[in-house]
């Protein structure tokens, strides 16, 4: 399942990106793949991520993982602003080619 996550940050995007890399094993444990993540061009503290989860249980595991939530918050994620929106399975990835 695909999900769009939006949230505010307090330490900018690079801090969040480093946290993501540091928690690779945790993300794999939840069946999560980050398809694309970026901050807004004019606001490094506003970000969005397109995520693929292998299943609903993985998404709920990610959402309820207290250790990972703390790591996200330590990296500057303002988790109270997080919105996770399920996306259609009819999406397109890397068409016509990856950049």
Q: What is the pLDDT of residues 23-34, one digit of tens each?
A: 999 999 999 999
Domains and their CATH numbers in the chain:
2-22+32-87 (3.30.70.100)
For 15, the token pair is 């801090």
Decide: 35 and 27 in contact? Cβ < 8 Å.
no
37-63-58-26 Cα dihedral, nearest 10 degrees: 70
pLDDT (0 to 100) of residue 31: 97
Average the pLDDT over 51-75 and give the result: 96
* Closest to 79 measured CA to CA, from 21, 29, 30, 19: 19
99-84-71-78 Cα dihedral, nearest 10 degrees: 100
The pTM of this model reads 0.89
pLDDT digits (tens, 9 = 90+) for 75-97: 999 999 999 999 998 988 888 88
């Amino acid at each position: 399942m695909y999900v769009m996550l939006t949230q505010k940050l307090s330490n900018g995007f690079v801090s969040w990106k480093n946290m993501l890399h540091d928690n690779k094993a945790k993300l794999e444990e939840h069946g999560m793949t980050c398809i694309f993540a970026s901050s807004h061009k004019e606001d490094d503290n506003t970000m969005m991520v397109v995520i693929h989860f292998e299943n609903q249980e993985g998404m709920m595991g990610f959402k309820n993982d207290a250790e990972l939530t703390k790591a996200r918050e330590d990296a500057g994620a303002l988790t109270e602003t997080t919105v996770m929106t399920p996306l259609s399975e009819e999406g397109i990835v890397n068409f016509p080619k990856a950049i």
